[in-house]
Amino acid sequence: MTRVRSMFLLVTTFLLAAGGLAAAQPSPGTAVQKEALDVDLSSHEVSIQTDFSGIKVVVFGAVNNSRQPSAASGFYDVAVVLRGPEQAIIARRKDRIAGLWVNADSMAFQDVPSFYAVLSTRPLNEIADEAALLRYGIGFESLALVPRYSPRPHTKAEYDAFRQAVIEIKKREKLYREAPFSVGFIGTSLFRSTIDLPSNVPVGDYTADVFLFREGKLLSAAQSSITIGKGGIGQFVHQGAFKWPLLYGFSAVLMAFVFGLAASAIFRKG
Q: Which of 11, 54, 187, 217 binds another protein (CB under 8 A)?
A: 54
Question: Listing from the earlier edge strand, what are the strands of the sheet with 55-64?
Answer: 36-41, 55-64, 190-197, 183-186
**What is the Cβ-side half-sphere exposure of residue 32, based on CA atoms within 13 angstroms?**
5
Phi, psi of 155 (to 5 degrees): -80, 170
> Residue 262 Cβ, how far from another protein at the closest point, in Å?
8
Q: Which of 14, 200, 215, 216 binds another protein (CB under 8 A)?
A: 200
**Can you tell me the distance from the alpha carbon of 222 to that of 218, in angstroms, rounded to the nearest whole number?**
11
Q: Which of 34, 44, 56, 148 binds another protein (CB under 8 A)?
A: 148
Using CB under 8 A as the binding rule, whether residue 101 contacts another protein is answered as: yes
**Touching another protein, residues 202-261 (CB under 8 A):** 202-203, 230, 233-235, 237-238, 241-242, 245-246, 248-253, 255-257, 259-261
Query: CB atoms < 10 A from the CB of 58, how many?
Result: 12
Determine the distance from the C-alpha atom of residue 120 to the mean position of all C-alpha atoms in its chain, rounded to a whole number.
Answer: 12
Rg for the chain (alpha carbons), in Å? 26
**Can you tell me the distance from the alpha carbon of 226 to that of 229, in angstroms, rounded to the nearest whole number?**
10
Nearest CA among 53, 59, 65, 84 for reference residue 25: 65
Nearest CA among 269, 257, 214, 254 for reference residue 65: 214
Using CB under 8 A as the binding rule, whether residue 56 contacts another protein is answered as: no
Query: CB atoms < 10 A from the CB of 76, how many?
Result: 23
Using CB under 8 A as the binding rule, whether residue 57 contacts another protein is answered as: no
Using CB under 8 A as the binding rule, whether residue 46 contacts another protein is answered as: no
Instruction: Assess contact for 214 and 75: CB atoms under 8 A.
Output: yes
- 73 or 87: whose CB is closer to another protein? 87
**Can you tell me the distance from the alpha carbon of 56 to that of 63, in angstroms, rounded to the nearest whole number?**
23
- 37 or 46: whose CB is closer to another protein? 46
> Residue 19 Cβ, how far from another protein at the closest point, in Å?
42
Determine the distance from the C-alpha atom of residue 267 to the mean position of all C-alpha atoms in its chain, rounded to a whole number.
Answer: 51
Of 26-34, 61-69, 78-86, 89-97, the window that binds another protein (rule: CB under 8 A) is: 89-97
Using CB under 8 A as the binding rule, whether residue 171 contacts another protein is answered as: no
- 20 or 149: whose CB is closer to another protein? 149
Q: Which of 108, 179, 221, 222 binds another protein (CB under 8 A)?
A: 108
Q: Which of 3, 152, 156, 268 binds another protein (CB under 8 A)?
A: 268
Which residues in this chain contact another protein in the complex, by CB under 8 A?
48-54, 87-96, 99-103, 106, 108, 148, 162, 165-166, 168-170, 172, 199-200, 202-203, 230, 233-235, 237-238, 241-242, 245-246, 248-253, 255-257, 259-264, 267-268
